[in-house]
Structure 1
């Protein structure tokens, strides 16, 4: 499968020009993996590392700007299908798109924190409380904007005859509605500082862990399963609505499975006790590793395998991504986070914050794949 496309009906329109070093499939995937990790580690050393950072902005506001960078990339790369950049050649195209993404990733959340935050203290920069509140918008928005461009194939705007730019704006408005609804139902009641209490639909840790499981379900069905089972529906509107709602059902099942894995296999009992009431959010910490491999598998590794029957292909892909996700989680929490990234341990031999590091990996990977189109490398 080509890089995540805003419309599964027009994926063939996205092409990559063979430039630079030509590598066989496995070597190509390994090279991209190493490039993404090297760049991410460089960024980490500059801004995040508790021992070695040149400019330390972690955990906030680095996390907030990072998350919004991912959301802006969804806007430009998926909802707008890189409209306005196609006339530029690489690497100029990638550089211009990246600079614009960085600018918007700073401008949009800063407007909320330093502007709207003066009206609502939940979003205020005073004491840093607003950084997390604004960053959590991306948790909902990644699905709210992303599902429109992928599993829903841009419906209903892709069938309206609108130009790519107008269709992108229409998706942007729709994504704002979905994101706003989800945020004010799931997140805002738990962080609001208003004198009148809000009814809390789900405790915040549960909302974070459960919703990230929904994101994993969406990425799995679209990337690894080729939008199955929703693609079985013939009418585009039915497929789009089934994808929008169905991922919540699958995500709920995944949330239960991930909680059980974390409690009984992946996290030591003393660490669970130390994590305490935040434990229900940890499916997000596991889910982000699985999401990394889902995105990598479909966009870098060529969605291997493709030689067997469709059902067999999908089972092998899913098993590969989940296995790598679980292994990565264990290696990260028990060694890499403390030894390489210098993150704090929760208990001796276990710790770290996977969401920040892996989202940085995802951000760098998507910039290289979507904006730069693997510039400098080609798959043989």
Structure 2
């Protein structure tokens, strides 16, 4: 059924969240930052905190369910564009979408560890062995599903003339193929307890650290650089293919740069020595903080600045996000992780596992932004907003 002007107007009215507290852009960003951190800390205190948790499910299966929650959010919010939820008013829309996300975040990995795990011990729930293997599917899937809806603009399905729902299903199928290919090339051979289909292409720490650097490259090019340089190619098909593959090239460079930063400036030498062969995973621990600020900057802070030339705007945005990411990493590993979250020290004065905490922040932030549309808060329009 084609939408009419009347029901389109009704949907537009329904999609407008109540204004709530109207704040200037800086105060709005601070308020959202506080809301996200307070909710995340409450969840942490309930399920994760080694000293204070009411129900202790850390590191697993909490991490597995959290990571799958992020992937389901990508399905619902981006691949399917909130289809089926947009008819509801806020906050009912946000509540229903959140409940559906949490339910699927338990159901989908549950099928793997409690169902398929009986056939393949790599994914078994016995002794919790399969929780990590199942959670790592999301590392690949976040890019595999996310790049289709963002940097690739839904191509080729968006140009095929199919209906939106069919295009979303096709995106989902394509994302499954990309995720499966990446997982069985990079991750599975490092984890399987049966005969491996091939020798590992990369050790698991290198695979995680490198692939998360690819994710940071994707988020940077799409969110901060407006899909540049891939958009320079003009044709949607060329842009899509360049975005899909080009982020691997940029991600490889970022992996080397982040690893060098960690060794030379961000980590104590005693921690580097103790981590040994697991050190290559730490570009992911740094990258997740940068990813948080990239997502926050676009969705909450309005992708400031917008008043200068395109080149200057992008340089400032990237510099701010990387700078905040580096500062956050240092505050977290040197104080917050151990003193507030009660995570384990690696060496005195340095510790934590940023991937779990920051992915929790990202999950809560995206739920508040995508599902609840900042319900209860509203950003005051500026001259630049009205001009845009």
Question: TM-score, normalised on structure 2?
Answer: 0.93
Q: How far apart in 1 are the matches of 2:33 and 2:338?
A: 21
Aligned to 1:132: 132
Using the alignment, how far apart are the partners of 1:249 and 1:195 within structure 2? 31
2:230 alignment counterpart: 230
Structure 2 residue aligned with 1:60: 60
User: 1:202 is matched with which residue?
Assistant: 202
Which range moved further: 196-205 or 83-92? 196-205
Task: Determine the C-alpha separation between the residues in 2 that align with 1:200 and 1:49.
Answer: 34
Asked if 1:22 corresponds to 2:38, the answer is no
Computing the radius of gyration from Cα coordinates, the structure with the larger value is 2
CA shift for structure 1 position 198: 2.9
The 8 Å contact of residues 47 and 53 in structure 2, kept in 1 or not, is answered as: yes
Kindly state the Cα deviation for residue 166 of structure 1 after the two structures are TM-superposed: 1.3
Q: Deviations over 1:246-275 (max 9, x none)?
A: 000000000000000001100101001111
CA distance in 2, matches of 1:133, 1:187: 8
- Cα distance in structure 1, aligned partners of 2:17 and 2:308: 28
In structure 1, the residue matched to 2:277 is: 277
Query: Which is further off, 84-93 or 158-167?
Result: 158-167
1:373 to 2:373 alignment: yes
The answer as to whether partners of 1:81 and 1:164 remain within 8 angstroms in 2 is no
- Contact 2:15–2:86, Cα closer than 8 Å, also in 1: no
Alpha-carbon distance between aligned partners in 1 of 2:372 and 2:158, rounded to the nearest angstrom: 25
Specify the alignment match of 1:341 in structure 2.
341
SS at match of 1:133: helix
Say if 2:157 is the partner of 1:157.
yes
Name 1:121's counterpart in structure 2: 121
Alpha-carbon shift at residue 199 of structure 1 (Å): 1.1
| Alignment pair present for 1:268 and 2:264 | no
Q: Counterparts of 2:35 and 2:106 in 1: how far apart (Å)? A: 25
> What residue in structure 2 maps to residue 33 of structure 1?
33
Distance in 1 separating the partners of 2:39 and 2:199: 43
Unaligned 5+ residue runs, structure 2? 1-11, 381-388
Aligned residue number for residue 144 of structure 1:
144
Q: Which runs of 4+ in 1 moved over 6 A?
A: none
What is the root-mean-square deviation in Å for CA atoms of aligned residues? 1.4
How many angstroms does 1:164 deviate by? 2.1
Unaligned runs of 5+ in 1: 1-11
Contact 2:17 2:90 in 1 (8 A): no
Structure 1 partner of 2:243: 243
CA distance in 2, matches of 1:256, 1:296: 25
Structure 2 equivalent of residue 188 of structure 1 = 188
Q: Distance in 1 between matches of 2:162 and 2:79?
A: 13
Give per-residue Cα distances to partners, 1:118-142, cap 9 Å, x unaligned.
0000111111110000000000000
Aligned to 2:6: none
Contact 2:19–2:376 (CA under 8 A) maintained in structure 1: yes
Query: Does residue 82 of the first structure (1) align with residue 82 of the second (2)?
Result: yes
For the residues of structure 2 that align with 1:280 and 1:227, how far apart are their CA atoms? 28
- Could you tell me the TM-score, scaled by structure 1's length? 0.95
SS at match of 2:86: coil
Contact 1:83-1:164 at 8 Å conserved across structures? no
Mapped to 1, the partners of 2:312 and 2:196 lie a distance apart of 54
User: Distance in 2 between the 1:196 and 1:144 partners?
Assistant: 23
Aligned-pair CA distance for 1:324: 0.2
- Are the structure 2 counterparts of residues 223 and 197 from structure 1 closer, same or farther at C-alpha, using a change threshold of 3 Å? closer
